[in-house]
Structure 1
Amino acid sequence: MSLKKAIGIIVLVLLIDQISKIYIKTNFALGESVEVFSWFKILFVENKGMAWGVELPGSYGKLFLTLFRLFAITAIGYWLYDSVKKKGSRILIVAIALIFAGAFGNIIDSVFYGLIFNESVYQGEVATFMPEGGGYAPVFYGRVVDMLHFPMIDTTWPAWMPWIGGDRFTFFDPVFNIADSAITIGVLLLIIFNKRAFPKKPKNVKEIAVEEEIATE
């Protein structure tokens, strides 16, 4: 698979990811949701940290996270280039391209969204793009926009159950975005199609001769 096709996958994922995020950011108040199906909702939340909303402590935690993402995506970009150069399998290149696109999509939020949007608030006015008064945070301190929510199970524990009786139970509760989905799909491709993504190199004559010699001893 050519580098040009891999870049095409990356550009397509980035376009879908950023268009969806900008639309949600400029049309939804924070926490606002729309039910598409009983098991799927569009729910606007902002992620200040890592996956699943995990945050690094301290005033420099967010900066460290963003810089780490920049370092990681550089490594992933080199991995993609090297895999194409070495004529890696199609499944490997597609997977790396998806992971790169997803990581880059969330980096755009972290680096630039604080500059180009004003603050999103609960039950308030929606944010505006390129506000006159400036954004809500300096460079590297933007928050990642999430909106895909799949509460496939939304019920209440039976009252007779100890400790949790009467509590609400939802599955699947995390809210994520297109970039997260691309990363997840890329990783799953590498896991499920591991043998196709990383095929064993054929043995050369010398290696075969050594193995046969060892077997006969």
Structure 2
Amino acid sequence: MRLLIVEDDPQLNQQIAAQMQGSGFACDTSHDGREGLYLGQEFNYDLAIIDLGLPELDGISLIRQLREQQRNFPILILTARDAWQDKVEGLEAGGDDYLTKPFHPEELRARAQALLRRSHGLAQSKLQFGPIAMDTDAKSVQVNGRTVELTGYEYNTLLQLALNNGKTLSKAQLTEHLYAQDFDRDSNTIEVFVGRLRKKLDPDGSINPISTLRGLGYRFNLTPDHPAPKP
């Protein structure tokens, strides 16, 4: 999962990035609204965390412009303002939730996780795809009740594929969600991750959770046991 953090306080920006990276997220950071807008336009994020009191371009304008350009990733607003009008304005501009400073790091993580689940139509952190069970909070995976040890990148690759089950994701799409902007990327590593996942999840070839579509990418074949209701 890849996050955009737009916060002008360098210390808080770094703290949020460190916390979210510790939870397995790849993070791009910005300290002003103009750069935040550029990053939000250029890259496909899973979530953005945006402060309202930004230099160059304020947070409300940043959120509004992202939504006008059809950037539909969930946005968690950070604000030091207590006035309810400011919070309402942020939500009406296109934010999905807000958190008032100062906040507890665990609340930030919990709200971010909840927004990510909601954006994929999921009501809880525990997902079941046939014999494969995933807990997005604990970042754990089991197959037929047996715990499978995955690296962070393997887990995030599996999560991206599972949340988009039935859809074909290219190497470029997977890479964009797995790595931060300044990471030296090699799309061939996706082949390695998928190969490892197949061996760990399906050593005897009985489940076939991931298909390769030559020249197109990869598709997760299993459907959720309890799909989200259609809106």
Which has a greater percent of helix?
1
- Higher relative contact order, structure no. (Cα contacts within 8 Å, ≥ 6 residues apart): 1
| Bigger radius of gyration | 1
Q: Give the TM bin, normalised by the shorter chain.
A: under 0.3
TM-score, length basis structure 1: 0.26
TM-score, length basis structure 2: 0.25
Which has a greater percent of strand?
2
